[in-house]
């Protein structure tokens, strides 16, 4: 076995020192009735070359972005990932290191996390970021718990235009914490501000809105913040496509208390959904309540500048049942990918990329807008995706497009929003060309005839 170095001779010598003579004796503390008589049935061992061949074969059974053009976004985005990202995250001492509890041996991870926190705080317009969370939906759930349970205001007002999956996760997490959820209606594709105002009272721990929202539309964050502030309710902005913040004014600038979400767009391919990268950024006031790990700058005993994990007293290994969250292992390597990605594309790159996404999506919007059988129900500012409805059953459209090597989302939004039927969100990043968009148009025309 190529990962187990002890030889039989080594084993004998070690047995002697330990004072046992058989494996059974070494495991004598396990009651006989539990000792497996047959090995678990997982197949014969395979040499590396054969594992490679077999798994490459399996991976080729998937239809990938190389086989077909994808216009799917919603929860994961196809952006180009520069080679330097994988090259850096694969450096063994980043890749295999443990959580940086021993700062003397972990300054590489710690400084990279500090840079990650700095970038995310800047991008979202907030004072501080943690070192990462699991993903965008669980990040929203952590924000809800922090604000509702923390302040003992067990009601959360959430936008009905959070992505349906984010909503489902919030319901999953709210139940056991006894948080009741009230959904704020939408109006013409964005949050209904009147309905928001009506639903905010002193029991509400937080308002949670997503922008760009589930339909791709950019919310009026200024109004949402103003209405919430008047009712003294804390605000959470969920951002699942942070590339949008290359051009959009960040929620922090409007006065939001928390900005959280998913940062898979920063240096990771969709990878069938994971691992992605959850993030949470807060104002100075909330920094001691934030879930997960935080890296801070300090000095060593010789006065040298360095980094450590800080505010540790919030965490589960110290506070146990009083901890603000149970999170332990998070997504550090993904945060490193994001840090390398953001360092590489830089200030100008992120801005240009955001513009490029807006241009591609608007070009597509104009092309699809006049196709017979396609309706674009809401015509409001959007980033790189928008909602369309079809005059034919969506299953037929999905199938017809697949025959032309075009992938669209399996999610029929009619399932989640009763006022929609045969609805789907289409996404246009820098990775789709003019030709791809025109092909989509032709394929849709044909399918809708």
Restricting to residues 8-37, which ones interact with other proteins according to CB under 8 A? 10-11, 13-15, 17-20, 23, 26-31, 33-36
Number of other residues whose CB lies within 10 A of the CB of residue 346: 10
Among 8, 152, 232, 348, indicate the residue that binds other proteins (CB under 8 A): 348
Contact 316, 325 (CB under 8 A): yes
Ranges within 307-336 binding other proteins (CB under 8 A): 307-308, 310-312, 315-321, 323, 325-334, 336
Collapsing DSSP to helix, strand or coil, 423 comes out as strand
Q: Does 418 help bind other proteins (rule: CB under 8 A)?
A: no
In the complex, least distance from residue 308 CB atom to other proteins, rounded to whole angstroms: 5
Q: Is 238 exposed, middle or buried (0-12, 13-18, 19+ CB in 10 A)?
A: buried
Q: Is 231 exposed, middle or buried (0-12, 13-18, 19+ CB in 10 A)?
A: middle
Cross-strand bridge partners of residue 388: 424
Q: Does 269 help bind other proteins (rule: CB under 8 A)?
A: yes
Sketch the per residue contact string, 102 through 121, with other proteins: x for CB under 8 A, - otherwise: xxxxxxxx-xxxxx-xxx-x
DSSP 149: T
- Cα–Cα distance measured from residue 117 to residue 112, given in angstroms and rounded to the nearest whole number: 9
Q: Does 171 help bind other proteins (rule: CB under 8 A)?
A: yes
- Cα–Cα distance measured from residue 295 to residue 132, given in angstroms and rounded to the nearest whole number: 11
Sketch the per residue contact string, 65 through 104, with other proteins: x for CB under 8 A, - otherwise: xx-x-x-x-xxx-x-x-x-x-xxxxxxxxxxxxxxx-xxx
Contact 264, 276 (CB under 8 A): yes
Among 230, 271, 369, 391, indicate the residue that binds other proteins (CB under 8 A): 271
In the complex, least distance from residue 2 CB atom to other proteins, rounded to whole angstroms: 8
Q: Pick from 367, 358, 359, 365: which is nearest to 426 by CA?
A: 365
In the complex, least distance from residue 199 CB atom to other proteins, rounded to whole angstroms: 23
Ranges within 363-392 binding other proteins (CB under 8 A): 363, 381-382
Ranges within 201-260 binding other proteins (CB under 8 A): 218, 222, 240, 245-250, 253
In the complex, least distance from residue 198 CB atom to other proteins, rounded to whole angstroms: 25
Q: Does 177 help bind other proteins (rule: CB under 8 A)?
A: yes
Number of other residues whose CB lies within 10 A of the CB of residue 434: 11
């Amino acid at each position: 076995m190529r990962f187990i170095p002890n030889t039989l001779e080594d084993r004998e010598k070690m047995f002697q020192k330990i004072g046992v003579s058989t494996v059974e004796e070494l495991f004598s503390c396990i009651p006989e009735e539990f000792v497996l008589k047959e090995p678990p049935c997982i197949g014969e061992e395979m040499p590396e070359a054969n594992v490679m061949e077999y798994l490459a074969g399996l991976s080729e059974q998937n239809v990938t972005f190389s086989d077909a053009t994808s216009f799917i976004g919603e929860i994961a985005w196809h952006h180009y990932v520069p080679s330097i990202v994988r090259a850096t995250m694969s450096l063994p001492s980043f890749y295999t290191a443990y959580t940086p509890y021993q700062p003397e041996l972990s300054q590489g991870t710690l400084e990279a996390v500090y840079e990650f926190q700095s970038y995310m705080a800047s991008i979202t317009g907030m004072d501080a970021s943690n070192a990462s969370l699991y993903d965008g939906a669980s990040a929203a759930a952590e924000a809800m718990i922090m604000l509702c349970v923390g302040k003992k205001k067990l009601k959360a007002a959430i936008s009905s235009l959070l992505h349906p999956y984010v909503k489902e996760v919030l319901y999953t997490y709210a139940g056991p914490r006894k948080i009741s959820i009230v959904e704020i209606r939408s109006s013409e594709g964005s949050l209904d501000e009147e309905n928001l105002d009506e639903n905010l009272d002193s029991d509400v721990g937080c308002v949670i809105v997503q922008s760009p929202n589930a339909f791709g539309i950019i919310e009026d964050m200024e109004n949402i913040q103003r209405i919430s502030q008047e009712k003294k309710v804390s605000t959470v902005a969920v951002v699942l496509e942070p590339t949008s913040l290359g051009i959009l004014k960040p929620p922090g600038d409007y006065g939001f208390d928390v900005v959280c979400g998913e940062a898979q767009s920063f240096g990771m391919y969709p990878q069938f959904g994971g691992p992605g990268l959850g993030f949470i950024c807060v104002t100075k006031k909330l920094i001691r309540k934030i879930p997960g790990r935080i890296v801070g700058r300090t000095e060593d005993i010789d006065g040298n500048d360095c980094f450590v994990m800080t505010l540790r007293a919030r965490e589960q290994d110290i506070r146990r049942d009083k901890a603000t969250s149970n999170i332990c292992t998070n997504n550090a390597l993904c945060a490193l990918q994001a840090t390398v990605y953001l360092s590489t594309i830089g200030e100008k790159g992120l801005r240009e990329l955001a513009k490029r996404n807006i241009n591609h999506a608007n070009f597509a919007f104009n092309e699809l807008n006049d196709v017979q059988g396609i309706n674009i129900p809401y015509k409001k500012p959007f980033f790189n995706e928008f909602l369309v409805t079809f005059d034919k059953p969506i299953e037929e459209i999905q199938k017809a497009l697949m025959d032309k090597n075009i992938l669209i989302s399996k999610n029929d939004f009619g399932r989640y929003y009763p006022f929609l039927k045969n609805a789907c969100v289409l996404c246009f990043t820098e990775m789709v060309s003019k030709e791809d968009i025109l092909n989509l148009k032709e394929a849709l025309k044909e399918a809708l005839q």
